Chain A
Amino acid sequence: MLLEVDGLCVNYGHIEAIRDISFGVEEGTVTSLIGANGAGKSTTLKTISGLRKVRAGTITFDGKDITHARPFERVLMGISQSPEGRGCFPGMTVLENLDMGAFVRKDRKSAAYRSDLDRVFDLFPRLKERERQAAGSMSGGEQQMLAIGRALMAKPRLLLLDEPSMGLAPKLIQQIFTIVTEINQQGTTVLLVEQNAAQALKRSDNAHILETGEIVRSGTGHELAGDDSVKAAYLGGDL
């Protein structure tokens, strides 16, 4: 397992945001966390990145206990996140934002860096057109592309994507999910949080369904997508 979450509990004040969650992410796979708003999906990702304090339980990455590691230390180990709500730096240009993504890399002057940048621009040609534009002046969809591109620039071993399809036009949603598959095929392990369950399950090796802070179902993407109760609750009956 590349990532192992065991018995994780996180509180916001007195409120339990997630309760006794355990799951693993195998290297080279796409794993999804599916659930309604407020189920604790984003909190789980934030906790894996170190932005939320753990009340109980452990997080292990590549065999090392990172439960109490600081956020930047986790980035150095190879965990990169494209946060919900995008989190682009509004006062920086597209190029500067992408460069921030590569903040922990030592090879920022090299050809490898340049080719990673080109890969992001291949995936999102719109970003290339706007490379000198301030991120704060771009549309929501463009900022979403930027956030994903920026997370890729870190060359992570584990990419955490928080609602990458949120607020995007249907055509772009298709494109984003195609890109997720592409990134995965190029060797990056992906942990995906999505409300768009149909798309996420189709692309995932494994998936877990969260309800009010607990995992209620787990299985392969294919199994869950075919399950009647999952269909009824999350897929609007059609898949």
Chain B
Amino acid sequence: MDLGALFGNFNNFLDFTVGGLVIGAIYALVALGYTMVYGVLQLINFAHSEVFMYGTFAVAWTFVLLHGTGDASWSLGRAVPILLVALVAAMLMSAAIALLVERFAYRPLINKNAPKLIALISAIGASFALAEAMGLRDRFAKWFGLDDNLANYVAPNKARDVYSNPVSIQPHGLFHIGGYSVTDVDLVVVVAALVMMFALDIFVRRTKFGRGIRAVAQDPEAAALMGVNSTRVVQVTFLVGGLMAGAAATLYMMKIGSTRQNAGFLLGVKAFTAAVMGGIGNLRGALLGGLLLGVMENWGSAVFGSEWKDVVAFVLLVLILLVRPSGLLGEALGKARA
């Protein structure tokens, strides 16, 4: 243990903290998907990690499509046009996957009033199926004789390897906080994540449809008696979670630059942890949980070494839940008065 590595030098401390906030913002965006679905259905959508993972591929594919496969190193400014297209593609891709999961893994079970545990198993199944489908995409392409045409996308015989965005985005320092140089990529990640979350918060609290979502979350039967179409509410909940995951995937690819068929797993577990830490079902809790988790695991890796990063994150989760079992901001979409 080396507390000096974190606290001995203020600039190091800022470095780890700001770095943690950046990755934490991505956790928070993905956490929103878990928390919204839980708020409405009291159900953990374990397939949400794959919703995110498909978004990361959409980003990389957009760059391959518009730039080609040649490795390049661009500034953020130069990458912006393609990044915007990639953002739209990732949001559409993730939203489509989320809606598919809702339609085929959940709705048949909900309509039959199946126990929540059955839906949970169905979600885990959907998660594996989606991840494996991505890992076997070269075989699927081969069935249709498209593996040559689509070689750059399906990576024949290497579909399970790391798949990188050909364009790596070089961050540039913009200004300093203490000794830490905040880069343009950091700033875009944090600001974009905050804007998305702010917009979602407004949508849920201020719009008529948002009020319908809160009503279903608080009392589904009474909501039906008010004329709320619960099927539509559930769909929109999945859709919004998917859009947020697609945005998170774009930010993740800006920062990390590569993905693979199991990239959703660890990030999904972290985002789920963030949601639980903040109080699952609570939108602002997801933000707080995400940022806190990002910062804590960075501090943990400074003090204990980076191999302990995940251990620190999950020990923190256990400790928080021991003291506050319903999470930092408490459970439920709108149960705490919004």
Q: How far is the CA of A70 from the CA of B227 in the complex (A)?
A: 9
B338 within 8 A of A: yes
- Near B by CB (< 8 A), chain A positions 69-109 give 70-72, 75-76, 80-81, 83, 87-93, 96, 99-101, 103-104, 108
Question: Once the chains bind, are A91 and B336 in contact (CB under 8 Å)?
Answer: yes
- Near A by CB (< 8 A), chain B positions 322-338 give 332, 334-338
The 3 closest A-B pairs by CB, nearest first: A75-B227, A87-B222, A104-B227
A residues less than 8 Å from B221 (CB atoms): 51, 83, 87
Q: How far is the CA of A75 from the CA of B212 in the complex (A)?
A: 14
Question: Once the chains bind, are A71 and B208 in contact (CB under 8 Å)?
Answer: no
A residues less than 8 Å from B219 (CB atoms): 87-90
Q: A71-B224, A87-B225 are in contact. Are A100 and B215 (CB under 8 A)?
A: yes
Q: How far is the CB of A221 from chain B (nearest CB, A)?
A: 26
A154 within 8 A of B: yes
Question: Once the chains bind, are A71 and B214 in contact (CB under 8 Å)?
Answer: no
Q: B residues touching A (Cβ–Cβ < 8 Å)?
A: 208, 211-212, 214-215, 218-219, 221-231, 332, 334-338
A166 within 8 A of B: no
A50 within 8 A of B: yes
Choose from A72, A81, A136 the contact partner of B228 (Cβ within 8 Å).
A72
Q: A87-B219, A92-B214 are in contact. Are A81 and B337 (CB under 8 A)?
A: no
Listed by A's residue number, 7 A-B pairs whose Cβ atoms lie within 8 Å are: A49-B224, A71-B225, A80-B225, A87-B222, A91-B218, A100-B211, A154-B227
* Residue among A87, A104, A150, A154 facing the most chain B CB atoms (10 A cut-off): A87
Q: How far is the CA of A121 from the CA of B258 in the complex (A)?
A: 60
B residues less than 8 Å from A235 (CB atoms): none
Q: Which residue of B lies closest to A136 (CB)?
A: B335
The B interface, classified by DSSP as helix, strand, loop or mixed, is helix
Question: Once the chains bind, are B218 and A51 in contact (CB under 8 Å)?
Answer: no
Q: Which residue of B lies closest to A99 (CB)?
A: B211
A residues less than 8 Å from B230 (CB atoms): 72
Choose from B218, B224, B228, B229 the contact partner of A92 (Cβ within 8 Å).
B218
B residues less than 8 Å from A88 (CB atoms): 219, 222
Known A51-B221, A89-B218; 17 more pairs at CB < 8 Å: A49-B225, A51-B225, A72-B228, A75-B225, A83-B225, A87-B221, A88-B222, A89-B223, A91-B334, A91-B337, A100-B223, A103-B227, A103-B228, A108-B208, A136-B335, A154-B226, A154-B227
Q: How far is the CB of B160 from chain A (nearest CB, A)?
A: 44
A134 within 8 A of B: yes
Q: How far is the CA of A72 from the CA of B220 in the complex (A)?
A: 12
Question: Once the chains bind, are A72 and B337 in contact (CB under 8 Å)?
Answer: no
Question: Once the chains bind, are A83 and B222 in contact (CB under 8 Å)?
Answer: yes
Question: Once the chains bind, are A103 and B222 in contact (CB under 8 Å)?
Answer: no
Q: How far is the CA of A146 from the CA of B33 in the complex (A)?
A: 33
B residues less than 8 Å from A108 (CB atoms): 208
Question: Once the chains bind, are B226 and A101 in contact (CB under 8 Å)?
Answer: yes
Q: How far is the CA of A136 from the CA of B218 in the complex (A)?
A: 11
Q: How far is the CA of A89 from the CA of B225 in the complex (A)?
A: 12
* Residue among A51, A88, A92 facing the most chain B CB atoms (10 A cut-off): A92
Q: How far is the CA of A134 from the CA of B335 in the complex (A)?
A: 10
B residues less than 8 Å from A75 (CB atoms): 225-227
Question: Once the chains bind, are B335 and A90 in contact (CB under 8 Å)?
Answer: yes
Q: Which residue of B lies closest to A88 (CB)?
A: B222
Question: Once the chains bind, are A93 and B228 in contact (CB under 8 Å)?
Answer: no
A residues less than 8 Å from B335 (CB atoms): 90-91, 136
Choose from A50, A72, A81, A91 the contact partner of B332 (Cβ within 8 Å).
A91
